[in-house]
Amino acid sequence: MAKNKGKFYMTTAIAYTSGKPHIGNTYEIILADAIARYKRAEGYDVYFQTGTDEHGQKIQEKAEAIGITPKEYVDEVAGEVKRIWDLVNASYDSFVRTTDEDHEKCVKKIFKKLYDQGDIYKSSYEGLYCTPCESFWTESQLVDGKCPDCGREVKPAKEEAYFFKMSKYADRLIEYINTHDDFIQPVSRKNEMMNNFLLPGLQDLCVSRTSFNWGIPVDFDPKHVVYVWLDALTNYITKIGYDPDGSTELFKKNWPADLHLIGKDIVRFHTIYWPIFLMALGLPLPKQVFGHPWLLQGGDKMSKSKGNVIYADDMVDLFGVDATRYFVLHEMPFENDGVITWDLVIERFNSDLANILGNLVNRTVSMSNKYFGGIVKSTGVTDAVDEDLKAVVTQTRDRVAEKMEKLRVADAISEVFALFRRCNKYIDETTPWVLAKDETGQDRLAEVLYNLTEAITIGASLLHSFLPETAEKIVAQLCTELRDYDKLDQFGLYVSGTKVTETPEILFARLDAKEIMPKVEAIQAAQKAEYEAEQKRLGIEPETAADEAVVDIEPKEEISFDDFGKMQFQVGEIIACEAVEKSKKLLCSQVKIGSQVKQIVSGIRKYYTPEEMVGKKVMVLVNLKPAKLAGVLSEGMLLCAEDAEGNLALMKPEKDMPSGAEIC
């Protein structure tokens, strides 16, 4: 067994029960599970908590719209969340529901404690409210008149409320962040919190509502319910036994949390609101908050009406649990958003899982059966090429550890697959099929197969945190067990003389996109039909439904003014336009910009005819590096706006401006 390294308490954000979680939501639980499994392997006593956030105005409105109680609604959705978390093999220790009686009881006590000590006071709020985000905003905080978080419409709201004195603790939090470099990760998230929220000054936070009643009542003022963030965030302590009147041993053992793993869109709540609540309660802050990037649908936006939302259970049906886990873990960069498409999943399945891993295991077991009746034996007949294989294999554990310490999970899994790639190369270098033809090469052949079997055993043991079912299948075929973490830097522990399985299982059979894509189309058609039926039942026209709003839209990373200054925008006049013969989407325009004419290719043929384009004044990015699209040179970019349906409209000057006018 690995050495005991102490406790490790980690949490995910709790999923909001507004609907079935898509693959972007599910990514977080898979990522968290990989970290939890890895920490257990290292020797930590892990307590891994996840769950659902179930109160709020949006929940109440959804339940009322379909004629059931909010509790009935969240029971159904929470059950679906838990089903999917279990489906992807998440090894959580506790599944929280904020409607749990013990949580609600403790939240009431926390609210009263903060009120009694003067951190919460009653006042009234008048501002602009975003129901989907359950957030109040001032006029200056809006972006183009809409919610700065989700881009949806806001409505004027005024109501009596209790407020938390955020400014009382702001300086203390700033000092904490400045003296604890690892508290907010990645660093880009830290900079965003400091520069955009803390340093400009914190406003007091609304922590109760009276305009709806689906929430935890304020004991001493029951017309108020506790507002979502004070309710939801406190689950991290209430569900491990915190109590203002005396906490449990589970809480004393595990708090502070070692890691809060959350989406980058809720970093503000976890690194500003939550630490301040904890300071007010006299509790230590979590050691680290990691705001992971998003997994976005590539090439199009996820919309239920289009039927293009990717769900984990659909992926599992088509590819299996571990293939689903592998894709989302491997394809997510450390800071930037990842992209998912059905084509990419198929490509990665075939190239990595079928070719690199599955083929390696199958070849190794099959050769052991073919040449030695399944007996794997070390003969000591070595060659120089063995040493490089052994070096790569025995160094992989520490390389993985270095990446996992920084939560670079995609890089860690790549290190494991580098081991498998090295094994495949070793087969090519040693040519077992050639050795098998030479009677004098039998002992050397046996050593080669022993080395491969040992290397695969170590690789499978490292893979277990990421693809647990696959790792267990591999060692079962090798008739051994997963290797203890502390021994994964040692080569030669596989018991010589062991007999591998006679009929190796194909771990990942290659997929044919022509067979998979019709199934995908059927999933999308069913999804769209279900959506339309739901809207009809609610009496909502699909084109005006709230769910038509774009899912998972996030502003791109901030750029400096100098970066922006590198881009040159000017007004252009389209003097000629024609369709690109080799494409159904592209138009090729001749655009007069001042005294010069640029040829620009744009994917707007669906929305404009060539005749419509001629004579239009448009906005142009003129210093974009030239590139060929469908074989046609494009020397710039026409700027367009895109709605939730993916419809495009050219951006035009509000007033008549001359060709070549600078856009600044």
Q: So what's the pLDDT on residue 109?
A: 98
The confidence score (pLDDT) of residue 427 equals 98
395 falls within a domain: yes
* Confidence at residue 544, expressed as pLDDT on a 0 to 100 scale: 38
> Residue 662: its pLDDT value, please?
82
- The first and second tokens of residue 435, run together, are 């050795």
Residues 351 and 495 in one domain: yes
Judged against a pLDDT cut of 90, whether residue 533 lies above it is answered with: no
∠ CA 201-203-204, nearest 5°, is 140
| Inter-residue contact 47 to 8 (CB < 8 Å) | yes
pLDDT of 4-40, one tens digit each? 899 999 999 999 998 899 998 999 999 999 999 999 9
> Per-residue confidence at 140, pLDDT binned at 50, 70, 90?
confident
Q: Are residues 352 and 469 in the same domain?
A: yes
CB distance 381 to 443 below 8 Å: yes
What is the domain-level CATH number for residue 398?
A: 1.10.730.10
Bridge partners, 155 (sequence order)? 129
What is the DSSP pairing of strand 289-292 with strand 184-185?
Answer: parallel
465 located within any domain: yes
pLDDT for the residue numbered 188: 87
Let me know whether 345 and 487 are in one domain.
yes
Domain end (from 454, 481, 499) = 499
pLDDT score at 563: 63
**Tokens in use for 418?**
């580098």
| pLDDT in the model for residue 121 | 97
Tokens 């390294």 locate to 5
Nearest to 245 by CA among 117, 113, 334: 113
> 233 by DSSP, 3-state: which?
helix
Contact residues for 130 (Cβ-Cβ < 8 A; gap 6+)? 137, 147, 149, 150, 152, 153, 154
Residue 612's closest CA among 586, 565, 576? Answer: 576
Give residue 137's pLDDT.
Answer: 80
CA nearest 91: which of 42, 48, 39? 48
241 belongs to a structural domain? no
Domain limits for position 425: 341-499
444 and 571 assigned to the same domain: no
| 157 against 43, higher pLDDT | 43
Higher per-residue pLDDT: 506 or 653 = 506
Confidence (pLDDT) at 547: 39
Q: Residue 280 belongs to what H/E stretch?
A: helix 274-281
* Better-scored residue on pLDDT, 304 or 475: 475
Collapsing DSSP to helix, strand or coil, 438 comes out as: coil
- Average pLDDT of the residues of the chain: 90
Spatial contact of 120 and 218, defined as CB atoms under 8 Å apart = no
Q: pLDDT digit string (tens) for 534-581? A: 777 666 554 433 333 333 444 455 565 566 667 888 998 888 888 887
Residue 219 lies inside a defined structural domain of this protein: no
In a domain, 278, yes or no: no
Let me know the angle formed at the C-alpha of 399 by 397 and 401, rounded to the nearest 5 degrees.
70
pLDDT range class, residue 646, cuts 50, 70, 90: low
Q: If pLDDT is split at 50, 70 and 90, which confidence band does 334 have?
A: confident
Weakest mean pLDDT among 257-266, 292-301, 429-438, 524-533: 292-301
Is residue 223 situated within a structural domain? no
The mean pLDDT value for 403-425 works out to 97
CA dist 593 and 447 (Å) reads 71
Q: What is the pLDDT of residue 339?
A: 86
Burial class (CB within 10 angstroms; exposed 0-12, middle 13-18, buried 19+) of 120: buried
| Residue 660: CB atoms within 10 Å | 16
pLDDT of residue 147: 85
* pLDDT of residue 488 exceeding 80: yes
- Read off the pLDDT of residues 193-221 as tens digits, 9 standing for 90 and up: 999 889 988 989 999 999 899 999 999 99
Residues 169-197, mean pLDDT to the nearest whole number: 93
Span between the terminal Cα atoms of the chain, in Å: 64
> Which residues have CB under 8 Å from 382's CB, separation 6+?
447
Of 445, 475, 499, which one is at a domain's C-terminal end?
499
In this predicted model, what pLDDT tens digit does every residue of 247-290 receive, in sequence order? 999 999 999 999 999 999 899 999 999 999 999 999 999 999 99
**Contacts of the segment 521-528: beta carbons below 8 A, 24+ positions apart:** 523/307, 523/314, 524/306, 524/307, 524/308, 525/307, 526/307, 527/304, 527/307, 527/308, 527/309, 528/304, 528/305, 528/306, 528/307
Same domain assignment for residues 347 and 492: yes
Q: What percentage of residues in the chain have a pLDDT greater than 90?
A: 66
- pLDDT reading at 228 higher than 60: yes
3-state SS, 513-543, equals HHHHHHHHHHHHHHHHHHHHHHHHHHCCCHH
| Contacts of residue 452, Cβ cutoff 8 Å, sequence gap at least 6 | 360, 364, 423, 426, 427
**107 neighbors 54 (Cβ within 8 angstroms):** no
Please state, in angstroms and rounded to a whole number, the distance separating the CA atoms of residues 464 and 467: 5
Three-class secondary structure of residue 164 per DSSP: strand
Integer angstrom CA distances of residue 552 from 24, 247, 263: 8, 38, 11
Selection from 86, 2, 78 nearest residue 46 by Cα: 2
Q: Do 614 and 481 share a structural domain?
A: no
**Does 493 lie in the same domain as 346?**
yes
Q: 533, exposed or middle or buried, with CB in 10 Å at 0-12, 13-18, 19+?
A: exposed
Is 83 a residue whose pLDDT tops 50?
yes
CB atoms within 10 A of CB 249: 9
Q: Where are the alpha helices (DSSP H) in 576-659?
A: 610-613
Rounded average pLDDT over 86-111 = 98
What 8-state DSSP symbol labels residue 356? I
pLDDT at 360 over 60: yes
Q: Which of 450, 479, 499 is the last residue of a domain?
A: 499
pLDDT at 556: 52
User: 353 pLDDT exceeds 70?
Assistant: yes
- Is the predicted pLDDT of residue 389 greater than 70, yes or no? yes
Is residue 608 situated within a structural domain? yes
Q: Is residue 526 part of a domain?
A: no
Question: What are the tens digits of pLDDT across the range 311-330?
Answer: 999 999 999 999 999 999 99
Indicate the DSSP class of residue 211.
S
Cα dihedral 67/69/74/80 (nearest 10): -50
CATH number, residue 623? 2.40.50.140
C-alpha dihedral (609, 612, 615, 617), degrees to nearest 10: -90
Count of structural domains, the chain:
2
User: Alpha carbon 172 to chain centroid distance?
Assistant: 31
